[in-house]
Structure formats: C-alpha cells, structure tokens
Chains A and B, each alone.
Chain A
Amino acid sequence: MSIFEQWWLPIAELVENRQPLNFFQNLYKEIYMNAIKDDRWLLYLDGLWVTLKVSFFAILAGTLLGTVLAVLRLPSVTDYRYRGNHPLKKLGFGVLRFFCWFAKFYIDLIRGTPLLLQVLIINFGVFGSIRIDKVIIGVIACALNSAAYVAEIVRGGIMSVDPGQTEAGRSLGFSGLATMLWIVLPQAAKSALPSLCNEFIALIKETSILSYIALTELTKAGDYIRSRTYSAFTPYIISGMLYLLLTLILTTLIRKLERRLRASDH
C-alpha cells in the first residue's frame, strides 16, 4: 500500500460515516480521488500527449496552409505585374485570380463560423463514414481552422516588408516564388511572430473542442475523470494547469526564436 493510500484511509472512513471534512482533508480527498486513485494521473498524461500531438501537427499544417493562402491573397498576385496578352499568361492570370478569390472566400468562411461546428461537420459529415484515427480528424479540423487566421497574420507580415525587397530579389533574377521564399517571408515572419504566437496559443486551447468528437485529449481526460469521481471542478484545474504548462513552454520557445531573428537589427 502506497503512502498516498495510507493517508487516504482515515479520510475514507470519515466520508463513509458522513462526517464533515476540514479544508485539508477535503483538499486531499479531491487530489486523491481525481489524480491518485486507480492511477488516474496517467489519464491526464495520455490526454496531454494527445493534445500535444494534435496541436503540434495542426500548428505545422495550419501555418503552411495559412502561408500559402496569404501569398495567394497578395495584391501583387492580383495585379500580376507581368501579365501580357499571350494566351498562356492570360490563363495563368485567370487561375491566380480564382485562387485569390477562393482564398478570400475560405478565410471569411472559416473565421465566420464557430470551430465547434467545423469540427462536428468534419467529423460527422466529411469523414462521416471513414474509419480513421480521431487524432487525424482533429489535426485536419484544427489546421483548416488555424490556417485562416494564420493567413491574415502572415499577409499583414508580408505587407509590412518594403516592396524594394521584392524588387531587389527579382532584379537579381529570383523568380517571384523564390523571392517570396528567401527574401520576403523570412522578414515577414519576424514581424508576424508575436501575432502568430497568440494564434498558436489559441489553437492549443481550442483543441479542447475535440472532446466533442470523443477524442480523449486533455479536456476530455478531465471530463472523464469527473464523470467517475463527481468532483465539481478539480479535474478541470489539473487539466488547466497542464494547458498552462504547454502554452508557457511554447511562449518561451517563440521568445527565443524572436530574439534570434532580432540578431540582425542592432
């Protein structure tokens, strides 16, 4: 019998006999029931691991997709400075115009509807009859959602970069895409990083919505334990602290990255 169970015995007796508990006894009861009994702390760790996986891949995919959307929405794409009367150029211009319109539509659609509905629709609608891992569904739903926000953040970052940078890149012979990749985006990233950090933190917290599709992430782990222990909120406090831990680690990492990027302005 572990030390925790030995501490628990006298309190269990009080509970059994319906004796009132003092503050510390009550606190221990909550901790024992919600974290120690039946190794329940493992469930939080499982939930944390799922949240971590979903968040990591959703941030990665969301940032990539968001950046693509941001680039598609740029005015230089709509202007398409180098368009001529050649049929190929005209076709290319039409395709770009369509993508630009689509990107705008997509961003409005995603930002204008609740994530919960998107998750439910993707789970029960889009992937309704496909047997795939819920983690993958979670990543897809969160990445698609995050991409819309990232797109606007990155677009703001790109527009804050001096157009002379693009001209310098193009004049050296870089293609539009290469200029974007090597010259504009690294500079855009620097100014977009604080807002991106905000978005990433929001995304980590919003993965809690995935508990609605029976994905046992951190919030669901708390929900699950609560349904076994009938504690009013203790499992949520434990889950909450783990979310806080995740976001604090992320914030620290991004601050480090910011400092590194700032190495060039002295």
Chain B
Amino acid sequence: MTTEKNEVLISVRGLEKHFKGGELKALRGVDADICRGEVVVVIGPSGSGKSTFLRCLNLLEQPTAGTISLAGVDITDPTVDINLHRQKMGMVFQHFNLFPHMTVLRNMTIAPIKLLKKSREEAEAKARSLLERVNLEDREDAYPSQLSGGQKQRIAIVRALCMEPEVMLFDEPTSALDPEMVGEVLDVMKELALSGMTMICVTHEMGFAREVADRVLFMDEGKIVEEGTPEEIFSSQKEQRTKDFLNKVL
C-alpha cells in the first residue's frame, strides 16, 4: 500500500468542549492535523481532555466550538450527514461495547450489511478473514459473554475494521483489561499500524507509544501542551509539565 504520509486526513481547528453549561471546560482550543497513514498517540494525565478530544473527532461529543475536517469536509457543519462520515472512522472503546445479544460474526457483519449494503456472504467472508488475522476464527459463533476481555477487545477492533474505515480511533483500549491480556490487544494494534492504517490512540501504554507512534501528543488541561516524535517526547521534552507527567508514569 502506498500512502502519502503528508496528505492531511483530519484537521482540527480551535476545538473547544464545555460541559455543564460552560462550568467545566474539557477542551480549551485544540489544533491538530493528522495525516493519512500516521499513527498518533495521545497521552496525558487523567482529566486532561484526551478522551474528550477523541470522542469529539467522530462527534460522539458535540464540540462547543471549533471545526473538524475529515478529508476536507467540515463534519461539524449541521447539514453534513454525520452517520456517513462515522462509517469512515472506526472506534474502539475502553469497555469493548460489543453487542451482547449477537454472536461474534453478527457483531461484525450487521453494520456492513445494513449500512454498506453488502451481501451477507460478502460481509461474512470479510469478517472471517479478519477473525483469522486476530486468531479468533474459531469463535465466530460465540456470544460476547463467552469471551475473555482480550478476546472481546480484539473482536471490537475487527468489528470496526469490517466497515473499512479510513481512520481508527482507540479510546484507552487496554485500560479495562487484566494485565496478561494487554499484550494480545497491543499486538493487534501494532500489526494494524504496520499495515498502514491511520490511527489515533489515547492510551497509558507508553511502551506502545514509544515503539509504534509516528507522533505523540501530550495533553493537559484541555490543551495540547507538547507534540513530537516519540524520541522528542520521551527523551528530550521541552515542557516542564510533560517532564512531570512522564516522571510519574515511567
């Protein structure tokens, strides 16, 4: 796959998000550009607004101010069909959010069948090939309640991939996992990064950030305080706040 690393896919300008009628300002003006094929990891202390930032990107949270463009289209414009654009942005949640009343296969095929109007055979073939990629090909008939946390999260990732998104958003995908299951999920994410997928990950896994990220954003108090390559952030931070945070977590 040939990807133009400098083609801007997502462009965020002046993003603000207030809760409780402005009492709580979760985002205070965030600007960012994410290029196609880029892997961006967002780190920061809890309450820094990094999850809110991610959830604003596909408008699960409606921004209070600012614009978000996806491939040149301003999706904060109310006349834009957000459902269509969400199809291009896969999202993986901390708590997996698999549909408990559907089998694994159904979880993965319902959206392609209903939204992309794929035939059942086509959708299932795609789902099975993805299940193979995450070594869960034998669990297609299982219900989510029969899976371990790590398996659930891997299914959640491939469920999003079934929609063939242009970008994947990860919202602390390993935070709810038992430690021994973190590895299997990170492996899937690494493989995905290598395949050239555009990824934005909010995570506490500094090892993953250092190893896989093209760029790291450090957020605090609703702003991007510092950004740069993993080396720049982890080894030669410019900002005192970044230093303090990394001292605590590393």
Contact = CB atoms under 8 A, between A and B. Distances in A.
Contact of A88 (B78, B84, B87): B78
Contacts of A186: 101
Interface residues of B, number: 36
Interface stretch (A99-107, A160-168, A226-234, A239-247): A160-168
Nearest to A181: B114
A167 to B, nearest CB: 6
B101 A173 contact: no
A164 B163 contact: no
Interface stretch (B20-28, B90-98, B197-205): B90-98
A164 B93 contact: yes
A172 B78 contact: no
Interface string A72-87: 0000000001111110
A182 B102 CA distance: 10
Contacts of A82: 59, 62, 78, 82
Interface stretch (A17-25, A206-214, A258-266): A258-266
A173 B84 contact: yes
A207 B59 CA distance: 48
Contact of A174 (B90, B115, B144, B160): B115
A266 B146 contact: yes
A83 B64 CA distance: 11
A173 B163 contact: yes
A53 interface: no
Interface string A12-34: 00000000000000000000000
A97 interface: no
Contact of B58 (A81, A85, A171): A171
Interface of B: 58-62, 76, 78-79, 82-84, 86-87, 89-91, 93, 95, 97-102, 110-111, 114-115, 143-146, 159-160, 163, 169
Given A84-B78, A172-B87, A175-B83, 9 more contacts: A81-B61, A170-B86, A171-B89, A171-B93, A174-B115, A182-B110, A183-B99, A190-B101, A265-B100
